[in-house]
């Protein structure tokens, strides 16, 4: 019997994280983790994660203003660890979004490697350093717009605003932005915008994120979509929230 990821040591988890990052974390991908362990207006946690899919795809298409390819992992059941006692099990999954070249975010090349236009972007996508501070349409603004879109969807499914949340507490829907290409951000919260750190500092340490991501490596997904199904047997994993709230 294969040990669950939660039973593996840190070295094994690190190896899996490295394999996932190498296979999936590319300049032209964006990843979002989904989790829930409370009922929502859509029903039980697994029902919520299925119900939010078309809304999430619609929001992302509007944000990108471009055609996107969506790859959904299976849903897994995970046991909560940490946070208040007595929490119910979580349903968890991930969405991998394959981006068009214009939305790819590449690590900054050497100055002689590419000629940037006055906005700081080359013809094949954003440069992660030069575009980061470019005015209201720069990468930081685009990433914050995406995060706020995720938070609006959380609210639609009954999650309270940040000041009312219990630290590592149960939630009706949790949507976490894991990475956007090679973009590195560490933006503090302001009166108008939430804090945002990219890549998410904990995604490579969370077995409930790594396990569904790993299924996308094997899936192939010729049509860009992985079939979603709830695991028939619970799997042990850290708590179903990846964030710090």
pLDDT tens-digit readout, 184-227: 999 999 988 889 999 999 899 888 899 999 999 976 543 444 33
Rounded CA-CA distance 53/129 in Å is 32
| 77-126 tens-digit pLDDT | 987 766 777 788 999 999 999 999 999 999 876 444 444 444 444 444 55
**Number of CB atoms found within 10 A of residue 243's CB:** 17
Helix (H) or strand (E) holding 169: none
Rounded CA-CA distance 20/217 in Å is 7
Tell the burial category of 62 from Cβ atoms under 10 Å away from its Cβ (0-12, 13-18, 19+): exposed
**Number of CB atoms found within 10 A of residue 178's CB:** 24
- pLDDT (0 to 100) of residue 227: 36
- pLDDT (0 to 100) of residue 166: 59
- pLDDT (0 to 100) of residue 123: 42
- pLDDT (0 to 100) of residue 167: 61
Tell the burial category of 158 from Cβ atoms under 10 Å away from its Cβ (0-12, 13-18, 19+): middle
Alpha helices in the chain (DSSP H): 10-24, 45-64, 139-156, 207-219
**127 pLDDT more than 60:** no
SS3 at position 66: coil
Helix (H) or strand (E) holding 133: none
Lowest mean pLDDT among 5-9, 37-41, 171-175, 176-180: 5-9
Lowest mean pLDDT among 84-88, 147-151, 171-175, 176-180: 84-88
| 18-58 tens-digit pLDDT | 999 999 999 999 999 999 999 999 999 999 999 999 999 99
Rounded CA-CA distance 24/214 in Å is 9
Rounded CA-CA distance 49/3 in Å is 26
Rounded CA-CA distance 190/182 in Å is 24
What one-character-per-residue DSSP string does 192-225 give?
SS--EEES-TTGGG-HHHHHHHHHHHHH--TTS-
- Parallel, antiparallel or unpaired: strands 125-127 and 105-106: parallel
- pLDDT (0 to 100) of residue 220: 54
**231 pLDDT more than 90:** no
Rounded CA-CA distance 15/146 in Å is 30
Most distant CA atoms of the chain, gap in Å? 57
Q: Which of the given ranges, 3-17, 76-90, 161-175, has the highest pLDDT on average? A: 76-90
**Number of CB atoms found within 10 A of residue 161's CB:** 9
Considering only CA atoms, which of 52, 48, 28 is closest in space to residue 36? 48
- Report which of residues 132 and 195 the model is more confident about: 195
- pLDDT (0 to 100) of residue 79: 79
């Amino acid at each position: 019997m294969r040990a669950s990821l939660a039973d593996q040591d840190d070295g094994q988890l690190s190896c899996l994280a490295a394999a996932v990052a190498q296979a999936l974390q590319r300049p032209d991908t964006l990843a979002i983790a989904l989790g829930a362990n409370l009922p929502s207006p859509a029903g039980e946690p697994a029902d919520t994660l299925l119900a939010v899919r078309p809304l999430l795809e619609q929001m992302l298409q509007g944000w990108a203003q471009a055609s996107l390819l969506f790859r959904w992992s299976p849903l897994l059941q995970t046991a909560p660890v940490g946070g208040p006692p007595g929490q119910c099990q979580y349903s968890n999954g991930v969405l991998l979004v394959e981006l068009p070249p214009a939305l790819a975010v590449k690590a900054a090349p050497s100055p002689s490697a590419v000629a940037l236009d006055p906005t700081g972007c080359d013809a094949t996508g954003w440069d992660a350093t030069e575009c980061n501070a470019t005015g209201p349409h720069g990468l930081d603004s685009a990433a914050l717009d995406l995060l706020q879109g995720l938070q609006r969807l959380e609210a639609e499914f009954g999650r309270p605003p940040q000041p009312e949340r219990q630290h590592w507490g149960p939630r009706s829907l949790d949507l976490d932005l894991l990475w956007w290409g090679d973009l590195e951000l560490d933006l503090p919260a302001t009166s108008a915008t939430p804090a945002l750190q990219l890549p998410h500092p904990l995604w490579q340490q969370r077995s409930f994120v790594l396990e569904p991501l790993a299924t996308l490596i094997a899936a192939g997904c010729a049509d860009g979509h992985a079939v979603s199904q709830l695991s028939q047997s619970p799997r042990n994993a850290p708590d179903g929230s990846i964030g710090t709230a």
